[in-house]
Chain A
Amino acid sequence: MENKKDILSRTYLVYIFLCVFALAILYKICIIQFKEGDEWKAKAEAFNTKVFEIEAVRGNIFDVNMNLLATSLPYYEVAVDINAPSIDKKLFDGKIDSLGFMLSELFKDKTSKQYNKILRKARKSGDRYVVLKRNVSYKDLLVLKTFPIFKRGKRGGLVTLQTNKRELPFQMLAARTIGMSRPGIKPVGLEGAFDTTLMGVSGQRLMQKIAGDVWRPINDENEVEPKDGSDLITTIDINIQDVAENALEKTLIKNNASHGCAILMEVKTGAIKAIANLTRNGKDSSSYSYSENLNYAVLNATEPGSTFKLASLMAVIDEYNVSLDEKVPVGNGEVTYYNKTIKDAHAPAEPVLTLQRVFETSSNVGVAKTIMKYFSKDPQKYVDKINSFHLNQKLGLSIPGEASPLIKNTKGPDWSGVTLAQMSYGYETLLTPLQILAFYNAVANDGRMVKPRFEKEIIKNGKSVKTFTTEVLVEQIAKKETIKKAKIMMEGVVLNGSGKGLNITAFKVGGKTGTAQIAKAGKKGYGVAGDRNYQASFVGYFPADKPLYTCIVVIYNPSKGAYYGGLIAGPVFKEIAEKVYSSSLDFMEPINNKQNLLTKAPASIKSKNDEMLIASNALQLPVKSNATEGNYVSRNTIDSTSVALVSNNLESQLKKGIVPNLNGLSAKDALFLLENSGFHVKLYGMGSVRKQSIEAGQKFNRGDKITLILS
């Protein structure tokens, strides 16, 4: 290689040139990092990205019959990337007019010209994210996706951002108990209580800041897909809720009351079937519209008034085994302890009443005197007894915000000489409607106190995740004998006491009225008539013989003159009870034994043998059948052990040209048999055959007409 030296020197020359190139690169890096560094770092800030939480679809809340109480509907922010690489000039120019027109047609918020202008401007300035509309429903989104350009799918430049809005299909019904959960506010109701269950797990989406506070998603899809929340089935029955809410509203309007609540609870399980809380809109007492704003049932602890008398008298009866016939001298209906005069609302009919009458007529003096007689020496005994009824403790509800009850203690600083007497008829004491209801429910439940609950089950994708069971707060709040007497007293109230007229034809009701005087805000004490506010309530259970439900209705501040619990709250109670009766199977006589089962079986059935066997098996009826497959059978005899089926030779009779006895046959089977035999059949009514125009045993010819009457 003679010219190797030349080759090498040329190579080195190039090498030096490349070294300069390399140094230039290095230099440029240094320029970018050190000289322009701050500028680019600032730009990096502007090009900020953030991982955004993508809210999972919140679980639904159902009522006990799977009606939707709360659900999340998706809404979309719809934007367009009109400069997406796939939208070329030809496509843009060709379709932009029709796109603008269709957007205008769909949203109706801008003219097609305006849309056209927006899109063209964005196209020209290279804008990659133009928000077209916010809060677009899923339905409209589907329509949008069929529009020109957009219909090209992922390459059509349509960018959507989903948000979920909570909707209550029944709007106001039980709204406060369904509640809400929003960042920044205290959780309310079931939404708040079961927030984590309903919420699901958020997904993630990487977004880029494009201007100010506007962010656009970087990728077409979420980086992490959200996991939807579980559904909650509540104990609420929306049909009863509807009645409760309407009845309550009606009464509130009628009496121009400020607010009120009504709760229906299942005796055995503590399940709340309905809970209505209504507040008058606006402070103005001339307003007659109400809405669910506060859950009074749970968080409004007030002086219960007369409804507390049950607890007082039960304390006496339980402790001293007092008879309901015990005489209580009530005099003219006034008694004074220290400086406090206790009066009856109505002057007593007689100067001496039985304990039963004291309760029925809701005599303040009678109750106070009885309690003072037995407990004035040892008031703490009374307090302890009341406390043993679980009245001094919170119920421990799932939904947040339950108010603490107040039962004064003799050792407390606020205990005075008149406290015992005041407490006895429901003052100097604070209880929420639900706490009172739970106590009455315990009495209806033969002494077993269960916790009120709103939640029945948690389901995920239709599968049960958790079932809620009844929680017992106190196994037995009082002696059986005491409970029995309490019930007698309460039934008396409705039969011939302050709650007269609340009985329902179908069943008896037990309960207690309550009319409490409430000090007006800012006024000390209960003041004179003009400064008084009233709280009318009724709490009771039904049917009295075998209590299934308890219900409380409280009306606050009625202002149309009437304020007695029996008159104001009673009708709401009655309306709810009637609705429950008319819509509930629970009132039907229970079907327990086989004997009953058989006598309850359809009186006359005729069907194909195999179908009959399937039906009987499904009903778990023991069947003896001598018929062969395909034959028509009818039930023959009832004995204590089984249903015996005998073959009914309908087909063979028809073949012989004789009209069989069609009684009890279903329309379908009758038609099949008769038309096959050449009859023209006319049917009237629904159900199974009751009458036939051609009597059984008659001969017939093909083409004959026969009329069947079904019922």
Chain B
Amino acid sequence: MRSWYFTEQSYHPAWPKVVGDIRIDPPSALMDPVEASDLLNRYIDEWLLADELGLDLMVNEHHASMSCLSVSCTLTLAILARQTKKARLVALGIPALNRVDPFRIAEEIAYIDVMSKGRLEVGLIKGTDYELMVSNQNSARMNERYWEFHDVVVKALTHTGGPFSWEGEHFQYRFVNVIPRCYQQPMPPMWMPTFSPSSAREIARRDYKVATFISGHGAKSIFDAYRDEYRKFHKREPSLDKFAYTGLVAVGPDSKTGMARGHKVAAFSQATDRTGQHYRNPPGFRPAADNAKLLKSGADVSFVRHMLPSGKMMSSPPTPEEFVQAHMLFAGNPDEVFNQIKAFWEHTGGFGNLIVQMGGTMTAEESFDSISLYAKEVQPRLAELVREREKAAA
């Protein structure tokens, strides 16, 4: 098992100050730029510590959001590519639907891969629905645009014979020529996140890694669909390395401290639930038939309510203890955290990558300690779990 340390680089001091939603609408006047600078530098230090302790690193981006100070995966990765030594680096991801220039994205990917000496992995994601409001990109026909974006990026990264032109439906270029070219040939490994089993099948056919975000027991149906399709299409078993799960994680020296930190990490999820429902699910984001059902139900938008494994709804807002039950948060002392992850790992059929999301409202001291405890006392046991499974399979 590889563990990828991740913090969303929240500007959490604004959460109690913002009236209403923390995304799209909050005024930047509620942010102290000096405090933001301190936090950004601290978050880089967290990644550097995780690198030293043998973890890999995951980075993301959001826009117009107090949940995330990173406005570009590749900007953050450019720092980490130079400052870290051993860790593999995954962008999870680059939001294709919210970006307008796939050629530029390919250039940035290749640059980071060269700078890091081949340690980059690339998650090309669709992006969040509400951020289409900021990028001004259309949700109608977004799947066609996403796959054309993907095709431009892949061809740009792998084409080494001089410029090619592209005259597609959504993107047009006179000369595409990425220099420097990728350090890893032909290109870095590709990841794709999804929330749906049908998309997981598409990802399986393309032999990319599939990732899910804090989806709890829903991850099993996604991984099952991927495995099933992978076997059918490639006539072999997918390796565990093809699967990634993102969980909120908080480790303390003892059970009580670990769970107290869990409360702080879970504050992230509670804060990000504060997203304007009128910015969710713009037409075209989901199939018309699904939207007809939503209108009938009176729900109007695609609000995913959090559900416990029993099928019972969580409280509103959900408690951290409910998140633990739902495998969205792994929290406690190192033994407890390992056992929670192991139980979920077995339930889903196994995965080779765990995105370890901390952050929330934890202090710097709490974060550094939680990272250290995870790296020293949880990660080695998870790695052993995967090794044993692979030995048995061989």
The reply to whether chain A is a binding partner of chain B is no
Q: Which residues of A contact B (CB under 8 A)?
A: none
B-side interface residues toward A, CB under 8 Å?
none
